Amino acid sequence: MDGTQTVITDPASGQDKKFAFDYSYWSHDGFTEQANGYFAPASAKYADQQKVFDDLGRGVLDNAWEGYNCSLFAYGQTGSGKSYSMIGYQANKGIVPIACEDLFKAIEAKKPEMKAGEEYQVSLSMIEIYNEQVRDLLVSKTVKGGLKIRQHPNKGFYVEQLTTSPVSSYAQIEAKIAEGSHNRTVAATNMNATSSRAHTIVAISFTQKTLDGSGQSMTRSSVMNLVDLAGSERADSTGATGDRLKEGSAINQSLSTLGNCIKALADQSTGNSKVVVPFRDSVLTKLLQNALGGNSKTVMIAALSPADINFEETLSTLRFADRAKAIKTKAVVNESPTDKLIRELREENQRLMEMLKSGGGEAVSSSGSGGGDGEGSEEAEERMRELMKRNQEEMEAMERQWAEKLAQAQAESQAQIRDKEAVGERRKQQPHLWNLNEDPSLSGLIVHFCEPGSHTIGREAEFQLRGISILPQHATLNNSSDKVTLTPQNGAKVCVNGREVVQETLLNHHDRVLFGNNHLYVFDNPKAAAPSPSPIPTFEAAQAELAENSGVMGLLGDKAKSSSAEDMLLMDDLVKLYPQVQEANAMSEELDRRVRFELVLMSPQGRGLRENEGRTEVYISLTNLDSGNEFFWSKDKFSDRKYLMRDMYQNYMEGESWKLPQEKDPFWEPADSPLLIGTCHVYLQSLAYLIEVAESFSVTDFRGEDQGKLEIELRPCDSEWRELGEEFSEPDDVIGQAINFKVKLNKGHDLSPKYAAYYCQYKFYLEDEFTRTPEASKAVNPQFKFEKKYTFKPVTKQLMDYLQNSYIIVELWGRQKDSGKKSSKTTKELMQGDKPKQGAVGDSRPAPAGAAAASAEAKNLKSELDTLKQKSERNEQKIKQLQTLVNEARKSGKDVLQVDKVDKILSATAASSARPVVNKGGKGGAAAAGGGGKSGSSATKAEEKRSEAMGKSTSAACSIQ
């Protein structure tokens, strides 16, 4: 960070990328912690919370006083500091609390000068957008399907029936936000929702009622939208590309649409007026239309992670912010006479009433107060009635005394504050459980106190928990003299400190307790706490503990002890995905979906890539428990499918219709979905010497297991596409000349009979697209009979280097058979009887990196040995031909050999009249004559020996993979 410039360095290439913004802040280090916990700057480089507020927040507050709508966005990947900038942490207050405190201080300062009829009104609303559904966080009850979004002809989109609470101090705002966060946590835990995939909008409405010079009452209003967006790393699910259900999941829709809107607005700002901004494509962008491109002054904070392992996500965030800075909004002061506002609302209601009487639904649609096209008259009438209701509420709010509304709200807020303080005091004295959440701001919001005696936990128990794998009576807590024990009921899943328990267990201070799949708590016993405080458990540490005790970290092998960036990312993925896979299995079991999920690791080679083209990735194996068919999903595809599974499970829990057609079932994968069976590496060095290759190459899967063989040929040819014979040429002689050859994929053998069809594909040299064979439907030994011709004229040094040092990766793909059989057993019974194929979790890891490198090196050496043997054998053939020429000359009594005959034998590359390589003497002409490469018993034996050597060496090389 240097002034207004942000510089990011690519850890792979070392190249810098520079971005310029209005402000660039560094807050990762360079501070000292004061006695009250505030992080004060230790150097000029560090930007503390007060500096960020002075630069950004004060402008937002000043604009609110002037009557402008304001918006403050926080964008960035999960854990990068969005919430820290917006809300802060302990003594380090963020923009929101400082702005609210200053707002109420200014109101208090103005009160002594206020005239009769003048007042300042502040109110707050809080919503969450999750999976394209809007939830009011200030009410505990969840509306099925979420709140509706309506459109006002003048004010734009709004949330229908949204709670707006009057407040008179920041303490009340804090209490309301805490209430909203508590409701959010309870709902997210019960629905298995993920907080990092949700957007939160806190809207603070500020209304100033003052008298102008003529004594007329004037109303100036402003709305401050404080938006905490979902983690930006979730926006792009490239791994799910091509998934048939990708569009069915709305979980990523808001962020992707936000990106599209910002791009379109940026294009408009450059003069491209034809661009259409897709505000209507998502709930988030509808509600933020004014903030993005309308009546608002907007600030965007892009939070960045300084870790090099997050380079791609950080670069993506910077590019997003770079586009956003080009957007121009048109903010206006929201001020008009109060009486005029009331009169306009009454007039609009009268107009709507007349339209209702005359059945004028179309007029409402055209006025823009409705939703999409093609709606019926009933829907139009409903919209009109809702708009009338909203107008009536606004009129009543303006006419009703603010003091009356504020008094009612204050009474509620004071009760909430007292309850919060009481809970805090009880937590200091009494044993209790408090929740852990991936979002630290949502941890500790749910508290269950362990009173003396026995208490039940479950769906229908004293401490109610809902969600996957929670039984009606799940476990029992017993407090005897402040010693608390936990006893799981039969069949209940309970883990303590990462280990599953099945009998009564004594809970110690700071023990981590997991009920079911996603109810994670920490047990606190203040009276048993150690004199010196121990570290407070975190969500990440608890998840790592669960993964470690499950054995899933055994997938890493020696990598588990590594501290490299790549291996740390791998460990992080395993820790995050393990509970999600457990959750998916629990849903499959409860809904009887007849599939099982497992974690597997795939190296780049196992995915058909070269060694340096990627890193080892975590994939999810899906096994159909009826047919035994196995499929592999990327983590992004699995994540998107899992949200659809949650929707399905939620409908099941609520007694709604939950079963879907097979093609829409997120648990189902068609049997004929293409599956990468394995790969083989075909080294090309022989082509550099114009020597053919004809071998059966072993196909190995990502686990290193042999899946069968592919018969592949590389055949050098002349200009007429006749295959060359038993000669060879030096690579240096081929450079600058033409080369012709064929790649043949003949057939497969020893393949699994579970596949109904097969095909192969590969890329050669600079090809961007795969060359693919037709599908062969014959099981076990499919006949591809595929041939592709390649001509390069002239041969460049780059191509020759490729031939001498590289290989093509031939991928074998298959479509599995659908037996159509279904077991009479349930999914739970099938899971218990059919353990994962790998036995121990650790057996599903790919071959170690060192072994893979050794394998590749061995293959290369074998290929070189192959070529040398063939060159040696072909030199022997030439010597035999010369010997035959000498013997014939002696029999004829000649002492001299003709130079051109000797030259033809030495320089010939094939038994062809058109050699692709010209000899050093510049002579073309016919190929070797006389004895011939295959005449005589010695030549035949040499050929047999050569073929035997080639077969052994090449096959051995491929078997190592």
DSSP secondary structure of 537-570: P-HHHHHHHHHHHHTGGGGGGGGGG--SHHHHHH
46 pLDDT more than 80? yes
pLDDT band of 357, cuts 50, 70, 90: low
User: Measured over all CA atoms, what is the biggest interatomic distance in the chain, rounded to whole angstroms?
Assistant: 137
- 953 labelled binding-site residue: no
How much is the average pLDDT of 97-123? 86
Res 336: pLDDT:
63
Tokens in use for 626?
A: 């009826």
356 by Cβ neighbours in 10 Å (0-12 / 13-18 / 19+) ranks as middle
Mean pLDDT lowest among 340-349, 368-377, 503-512, 913-922:
913-922
- Name the CA radius of gyration of the chain, rounded: 37
Res 472: pLDDT:
92
pLDDT band of 855, cuts 50, 70, 90: low
- Of the chain, the percentage scoring pLDDT greater than 70 comes to 77
How much is the average pLDDT of 346-355? 70
Res 957: pLDDT:
31
How much is the average pLDDT of 291-315? 82
Q: How far apart are CA 697 and CA 710, in angstroms?
A: 5
**Is it true that the peptide bond before 11 is cis, omega within 30 degrees of 0?**
no
Q: How far apart are CA 61 and CA 299, in angstroms?
A: 12
Res 915: pLDDT:
38
202 pLDDT more than 80? yes
The identity of residue 357, as a single letter, is K
Most confident of 72-76, 315-319, 599-603: 599-603
∠ CA 647-651-656, rounded to 5°: 150
Q: What stretch of H or E contains 579? A: helix 565-591
How much is the average pLDDT of 249-263? 77
Half-sphere exposure of 141 (CA within 13 A, CB side): 6
- 76 labelled binding-site residue: yes
Tokens in use for 640?
A: 């998107």
665 pLDDT more than 90? yes
* Total Cβ atoms within 10 A of residue 422: 10
pLDDT band of 510, cuts 50, 70, 90: very high
Query: If we measure between CA atoms, which residue out of 852, 868, 247, 155 comes closest to residue 557?
Result: 852
Q: Which residue has the higher pLDDT, 56 or 372?
A: 56
Q: How far apart are CA 296 and CA 718, in angstroms?
A: 72
869 pLDDT more than 70? no
Res 268: pLDDT:
82
pLDDT tens digits for range 535-567: 889 998 999 899 888 888 888 877 777 777 788
The identity of residue 12, as a single letter, is A
Pick the CATH number of 5-235+249-333 from 3.40.850.10, 3.30.70.100, 1.10.3720.10, 3.10.180.10: 3.40.850.10
> Mean pLDDT of all residues in the chain?
79
Tokens in use for 508?
A: 């110690």
Query: If we measure between CA atoms, which residue out of 647, 648, 601 comes closest to residue 621?
Result: 601
Do 800 and 688 contact (CB within 8 A), yes or no?
yes
Q: May I ask the CATH class of domain 675-818?
A: mainly beta
- 550 labelled binding-site residue: no
pTM metric for this prediction:
0.71
How much is the average pLDDT of 235-257? 58
pLDDT band of 386, cuts 50, 70, 90: confident
Res 864: pLDDT:
58
Do 690 and 912 contact (CB within 8 A), yes or no?
no
What size, in residues, is the chain?
Answer: 961
Distance of CA 635 to the CA centre of its chain: 7
The CA-to-CA distance between both ends of the chain, in Å, stands at: 47
pLDDT band of 745, cuts 50, 70, 90: very high
Look at the block and give the residue holding tokens 């919430």: 83
Res 476: pLDDT:
95
- 798 labelled binding-site residue: no
401 pLDDT more than 70? no
- 237 labelled binding-site residue: no
Q: Which residues contact 239 (CB under 8 A, 6 or more apart)?
A: 634, 635, 636, 637
Res 324: pLDDT:
82
Q: How far apart are CA 125 and CA 728, in angstroms?
A: 81
Q: How far apart are CA 478 and CA 453, in angstroms?
A: 6
Do 200 and 126 contact (CB within 8 A), yes or no?
yes
Q: Which residue has the higher pLDDT, 612 or 745?
A: 745
- 83 labelled binding-site residue: yes
∠ CA 771-776-782, rounded to 5°: 110
Query: If we measure between CA atoms, which residue out of 225, 327, 236 comes closest to residue 284?
Result: 225
Q: What is the CATH number of domain 449-537?
A: 2.60.200.20
The identity of residue 813, as a single letter, is W
111 pLDDT more than 80? yes
pLDDT band of 520, cuts 50, 70, 90: very high
212 pLDDT more than 80? no
DSSP 162: -
- 955 labelled binding-site residue: no
Q: 3-class SS at 677?
A: strand
Q: Which residue has the higher pLDDT, 915 or 250?
A: 250
pLDDT tens digits for range 562-586: 777 788 888 888 988 999 999 999 9
Which residues pair with residue 204 across a beta bridge?
124, 224
Query: If we measure between CA atoms, which residue out of 618, 613, 713, 17 comes closest to residue 312?
Result: 17
492 pLDDT more than 50? yes
Do 646 and 191 contact (CB within 8 A), yes or no?
yes
699 pLDDT more than 80? yes
Q: How far apart are CA 822 and CA 642, in angstroms?
A: 24
Domain ranges of the chain: 5-235+249-333, 449-537, 552-624+630-664, 675-818, 858-959
712 pLDDT more than 90? yes
Q: Which residue has the higher pLDDT, 52 or 191?
A: 52
How much is the average pLDDT of 4-32? 87
pLDDT band of 377, cuts 50, 70, 90: low
CA distances to 70, 290, 292, 327, 399 from 330, rounded to whole Å, are 11, 9, 10, 10, 30
pLDDT tens digits for range 871-898: 566 666 666 666 666 667 766 777 776 7
- C-alpha dihedral over 493, 494, 500, 505, to 10 degrees? -140
DSSP 422: H
Res 376: pLDDT:
54
- 931 labelled binding-site residue: no
Do 218 and 337 contact (CB within 8 A), yes or no?
yes
How much is the average pLDDT of 28-51? 87
Q: How far apart are CA 469 and CA 614, in angstroms?
A: 37
pLDDT tens digits for range 908-956: 543 333 333 333 333 333 333 333 333 333 334 434 434 443 443 333 3
How much is the average pLDDT of 254-275? 82
Q: 3-class SS at 697?
A: strand
Do 733 and 917 contact (CB within 8 A), yes or no?
yes
Q: How far apart are CA 163 and CA 168, in angstroms?
A: 16
- C-alpha dihedral over 152, 153, 157, 163, to 10 degrees? -20
Res 859: pLDDT:
57
* Total Cβ atoms within 10 A of residue 940: 12
Do 207 and 220 contact (CB within 8 A), yes or no?
yes
Q: How far apart are CA 25 and CA 21, in angstroms?
A: 10
Distance of CA 239 to the CA centre of its chain: 8
